[in-house]
Structure 1
Amino acid sequence: MRVRARLAAAFSAALISCLGLTACATSGPEATLRSASGPDAASKAAALPAPVSCSGCWKPALNTSWQWQLKTVPSAPYLDVAMYDIDGFDATAADVSKLHSTKSGRKVVCYISAGTYEDWRPDAGDFPSSVLGNNVDGWPGERWLDVRQYGGKLGTILQKRMDMCKSKGFDAIEFDNVDGYTNDPGFSISADDQLNFNTWLANEAHRRGLSAGLKNDMDQLQTLQPYFDWALNEECWTNKECTSAQTGGYGYDKYVAAGKAVFNVEYNLDTSKFCSKANAQNFNSLKKDLDLTAYRVPCRGV
């Protein structure tokens, strides 16, 4: 969701990833992070469940105009974009239907938080105390979840959320906060724990005929690529981590090369600082405000 403190997260990710590697880079935290998505990617993937195929799932075109609006549910007149990403709880089936009917071929993405508890959601009372971790810095009422417990009650809650997305007529799911292991969740969540959880989410979405979008989780892009249909990133141009050349490892350009659309937002950069670079990479980039209101400045097209 909403941007996290990437610098602190990067150092945390480096330390956690090294615990599971036979060798870590020794030329600083950036090199260590590169190793987390490099040499061991194949071995990690081998230990994960097979990706669930979804031949009927919507797969966004590489060039897809879009709007990401979570603060409020969009209302008419709608933008002439091919994709809306909106809050799965706040939107009704009628809202989704209107978005579908007002532009031929438009798709609608269901935003849900998979990795955090939000005390304002209608299912907040279903979460057992055992899965509730530390508060999420900067977001009152939100706490990290112990994603290792997806095989129990937590998984049932998240499956119900996915069923909700399906029943309302959404085409895809944006799973937010799926990089808790790089933060301070209050649990000893490893990189492998996060991979197990994230692949489970994608497979469960596909079982419901819904496309799955990978949100951030930069350090696991390579391993997760076979499971997710597209990617959504916050501030990779700000943090100079959009491309393989910038990271020295695996970047979003590899998703584009694999035919998977990349959606990107920048909050603080002026469009003159990132749009030409984003367009050159065939990214779908926007300038947005942090509250994700209707405000947007697209880098290309509508």
Structure 2
Amino acid sequence: MKYLLPITTLVASALLATNVEARWQATPGHTWDYLLGAEESVIKASKQDVVTIDLEKAEKFVPYLHSRGQRAICYFSGGTTEHRAYDREAYQKSGLALGGNGDGWGNQWLDIRNKAKLQPLIRKRMQRARSYGCDAVEVDCLGIYHYRSDYTKEDSYVFAKWVAETAHQEGISIGLKNVAGISQRLEPYFDFAVVESCAESPNLCKLYTQFTDHNKAVFIVHYGNRGHKLSGSSLKNLIKEQGGHRFTCVISPHENLHNNSINYDCSTGSSASSSKLYFKKG
């Protein structure tokens, strides 16, 4: 006997398939530039395969990057307030800000357990990123449990999981930002990872090998102003912690991310050049 699926089910399935097919997958082996605080001239000077910029700059620079054969990851925070003109009022009216000590960058942590109020706000940012042509989003501040004892690791896991699911519903790729302690549980839901300063703690970088084992890129940045450099004991430690796992490794001169990143081979410290990835629509 044959059964006919309802038309709405067929349409929904078709839309889901289209979104999955449309998503870009960041695979290991490409170079990266981390430019959240960069001026226009620095963004335009980038020669790396993948460039991360703030969502505020996406409308202007994503078409430029694509015209040069580069991919664009667009950044925003999911777990804290941000001073973004287009949705500041909506965040203020939501009542989600927790008060107290913030994230150290002038932002307040949000009540990540209130999915009913927070998910629509994050979804709109993802829709904005998609409308600008961003290939992926990097959603920051997923690990509130590190900073507030009234939120648990499980709270952050549940939050991060539905953030990733929301991105996929909107047809856009998403990278896991930090949260090493739950990264292995979250890997199935994210398309790549963005990791800061993991070589500062023994074996922390290695928690992300599950991503590269599944052919998902892991973009790791260390900062020059924190003492990291490609020589001496610093280089030996970077190689020890990162080498042999197909990670993409860069050093940015400063945590303000105003300057182009230095790409290097994670296993040797030698300079790495663009793989000449070319972007094609469709």
Q: Give the TM-score range, shorter chain.
A: 0.7 to 0.9
Q: What is the aligned counterpart of 1:125 among 89, 108, 125?
A: 89
Amino acid at match of 2:46: L
The percent of aligned pairs where both chains have the same amino acid is 29
> Does 2:102 correspond to 1:143?
no
Partner SS for 1:188? coil
Judge conservation of contact 2:119–2:163 (CA < 8 Å) in 1.
no
What are the Cα deviations for residues 36-75 of structure 1, in whole angstroms up to 9, with x where unaligned? xxxxxxxxxxxxxxxx882331111211101010113544
Partner of 2:239: 276
* Alignment correspondent of 1:211: 173
Q: What runs of 5+ residues in structure 2 fail to find an aligned partner?
A: 1-15, 266-271, 274-282
List aligned pairs for 1:1-302, cutoff 5 A.
54-75=20-41, 77-89=44-56, 91-103=57-69, 106-119=70-83, 121-127=85-91, 128=93, 130-133=95-98, 134-140=100-106, 142-152=107-117, 154-184=118-148, 188-244=150-206, 251-267=207-223, 268=226, 269-271=228-230, 272-277=235-240, 278-288=242-252, 289-300=254-265, 301-302=272-273
Q: Is the helix fraction higher in 1 or 2?
A: 2
In 2, Cα distance between equivalents of 1:97 and 1:115: 28
Confirm or deny: 8 A CA contact 1:262 1:283 kept in the other structure: yes
RMSD: 2.1
CA contact (8 A) 1:114 1:177 kept: yes
TM-score normalised according to structure 2 size = 0.78
Native 8 Å contact 2:175 2:190 kept in 1: yes
Alpha-carbon distance in 2 for matches of 1:117, 1:224: 23
Question: What's the TM-score, normalizing by structure 1?
Answer: 0.73
How many Å separate the matches in 2 of 1:68 and 1:293? Answer: 9
Aligned counterparts of 1:114 and 1:226: Cα–Cα separation in 2:
19
- Rg larger for: 2
2:8 maps to which residue?
A: none
**Residue of structure 2 in register with 1:4 after alignment:** none
Cα deviation for residue 137 of structure 1 reads: 4.5
Number of residue equivalences? 238
**Equivalent residues of 1:275, 1:285 under 8 A apart:** no
SS in 2 for 1:71: coil
Paired residues of 2:187 and 2:210 also in contact (CA < 8 A): no
